[in-house]
Structure formats: C-alpha cells, structure tokens
C-alpha cells in the first residue's frame, strides 16, 4: 500500500511538484510537530507513512524513536488542524510472538 500511495503523494523532499491532483505537500520534521502543525490545512484525510525500514524485534528503540514519536506528532498536528480521518500505515507485524517491537506498535 505504501509504495502505491507514495507515488500519488510526495516521494521525497524536493519533489513537492509531483503531488497528485487534490493533494497538498506539507514539509517538516516528522518528529517535531511544531515544524509542520500550522501548515496543515483543514482536511478530510491525513495519511501517516513514516516508519523504520526492515522492522525487527531488535529495532524496538529505533521504532519508539521514529515510528512512535512521529505518529504522536502527526496525530496531534492532524487533530489541531481538524482532520476528520487519520490513517496510520505501520510496517510492524506480528509473527506469532508478542515481541517488545510488536507491542510498541500498539502504544
């Protein structure tokens, strides 16, 4: 889902001109809500696609520092902007265990 959606949104910083019709790019540091909160216009949908690549249980610290921190920042910013729907697309998955990494995904 992420790859297909990213093609319709902004793939990388500096490619804001490639945003699909009807979408608007908002630049900022995903870990610092104050860097983008005021630039989010009221909208129906916010899609959060920030994540640690190649998830694994031993990456729990990175997951908390990147995925969880950016999710909290984005959710707060979206709520402040009056966004109606917030979609969080996680790369974490359960593999038949309850690892710390998987539990962090639900925090």
Element (H, E) at 78: helix 69-80
Q: Report, as an integer, the average pLDDT of 4-25.
A: 62
Tell me the whole-structure pTM to 2 decimals: 0.64
Q: Report, as an integer, the average pLDDT of 74-98.
A: 78
Percentage of the residues of the chain whose pLDDT score is greater than 90? 11
Residue 27 lies in a domain: no
- Judged by DSSP in three states, 48 sits in strand
- Judged by DSSP in three states, 95 sits in coil
Count of structural domains within the chain: 1
Residue 70 lies in a domain: yes
Q: Which residues contact 59 (CB under 8 A, 6 or more apart)?
A: 52, 101
Residue 15 lies in a domain: no
**Separation of alpha carbons 67 and 107, rounded Å:** 11
Q: Report, as an integer, the average pLDDT of 9-29.
A: 65
Residues of the domain holding 46: 41-107
Residue 69 lies in a domain: yes
Residue 35 lies in a domain: no
């Amino acid at each position: 889902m992420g790859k297909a959606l990213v093609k319709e949104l902004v793939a990388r910083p500096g490619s804001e001109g490639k945003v699909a019709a009807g979408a608007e790019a908002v630049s900022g540091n995903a870990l610092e809500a104050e860097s983008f909160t005021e630039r989010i216009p009221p909208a129906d949908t916010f899609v959060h696609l920030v994540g640690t690549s190649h998830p694994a249980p031993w990456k729990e610290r990175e997951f908390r520092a990147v995925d969880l921190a950016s999710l909290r920042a984005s959710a707060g910013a979206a709520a402040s902007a009056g966004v109606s729907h917030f979609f969080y697309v996680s790369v974490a998955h359960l593999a038949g265990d309850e690892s710390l990494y998987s539990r962090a995904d639900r925090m």
